[in-house]
Structure 1
Amino acid sequence: MANKVNKLIGKCPVCQENMEITEIKCNDCDTKIRGRFFLDKFSRLDPDQHHFVEVFIRSRGNIKEVEREMGISYPTVRNKLDEVIEALGYQPEDSPDDNKAKKRKEILDSLENGEIQSQEAVEMLKNI
């Protein structure tokens, strides 16, 4: 029976901190090297995030294609992408569409709070 090889995990299942490898071995000649070997950033991704990245890359970043293949909505694709970005140690940036949505919400909130009149809100929304 062949030796079972477990999938490498990048996060500790107990505390969720990054794991480190302390020994590597050649399966052919049994040479072993001990030390501190750090995992790459992609090892930090959980299985669902790995799958998302594979689909995203295979789709060449085409969000419509990712939506279709995974059966999820545009906001869900964006949320999953943001989760991957954060898991890799980066901060997701707001897209121009996100900034427009924030400005629209601010204008509508101002209108609702009586801070601006409806005609003023219409003009402001046209200029976004």
Structure 2
Amino acid sequence: MNREAIGKCPVCNNDLEITELHCHYCDTTIKGHFNLCKFCKLDNEQKHFIEVFIKNRGNIKEIEKELGISYPTVRNKLENVIKALGYDAKYTPKVDKKEILAKLSSGEITAEEAVKLLKD
């Protein structure tokens, strides 16, 4: 049975490390201290979001459609993943008013979402 290794401790939520690797084919066992990859530390919801993001090639409109969420929610989920991967999530791009108005005009975002984005 294949089970995915968890990346966070279920008790204290700190990062876990792997201390033993085993090959079922040749019965080799390697003991030591091994770090999990960054993506292993994401929770299932974050992994699902990244899968949808990649599948849709980062097209926010398609991600909104597939997940049934708004543009600001997609951005928040992406910021959450960026932070979980250990990158600075405080990055705030300059507001491009023309881009926001174009998205509003094309129906990509609602008027409420446009107002929120313009206030950021």
Normalised to the residue count of structure 1, the TM-score between the two structures is 0.72
Over the matched positions of the two proteins, sequence identity in percent amounts to: 57
Give the residue type in structure 2 aligned to 1:20.
Answer: E
Equivalents in 1 of 2:96, 2:32: separation in Å?
A: 45
Rounded to whole Å, the distance in 2 between the matches of 1:105 and 1:30 is: 60
Matched, 1:47 2:44: yes
Taking the aligned partners of 2:30 and 2:59, their CA distance within structure 1 comes to 42
- Residue in structure 2 matched with residue 90 of structure 1 by the alignment: 87
2:30 matched to which residue of 1? 33
Give the AA of the match of 1:16: N
Residues 64-83 of structure 1: matches in 2 within 5 Å? Answer: 64-83=61-80
CA RMSD of aligned residues (A): 2.3
User: Where has structure 1 moved over 4 Å in runs of 4 or more?
Assistant: 98-102
- Larger Cα-atom Rg: 1
- Normalising by the residue count of structure 2, what TM-score does the alignment of the two structures yield? 0.77
Please report how far the alpha carbon of residue 30 of structure 1 lies from its aligned counterpart in structure 2 after TM superposition.
1.1
Q: How many Å apart are 1:5 and its aligned residue?
A: 3.2
Provide closer, same or farther for how the CA distance between residues 105 and 74 of structure 1 changes in structure 2, counting only shifts above 3 A.
Answer: closer
CA distance in 2 between counterparts of 1:66 and 1:96 reads 22
CA positional deviation for 1:105: 4.6
Structure 1 runs not aligned, ≥5 long: 107-128
Secondary structure of the residue aligned to 2:95 is: helix
* Structure 2 stretches lacking a partner, 5+ long: 101-114
Aligned to 2:11: 14
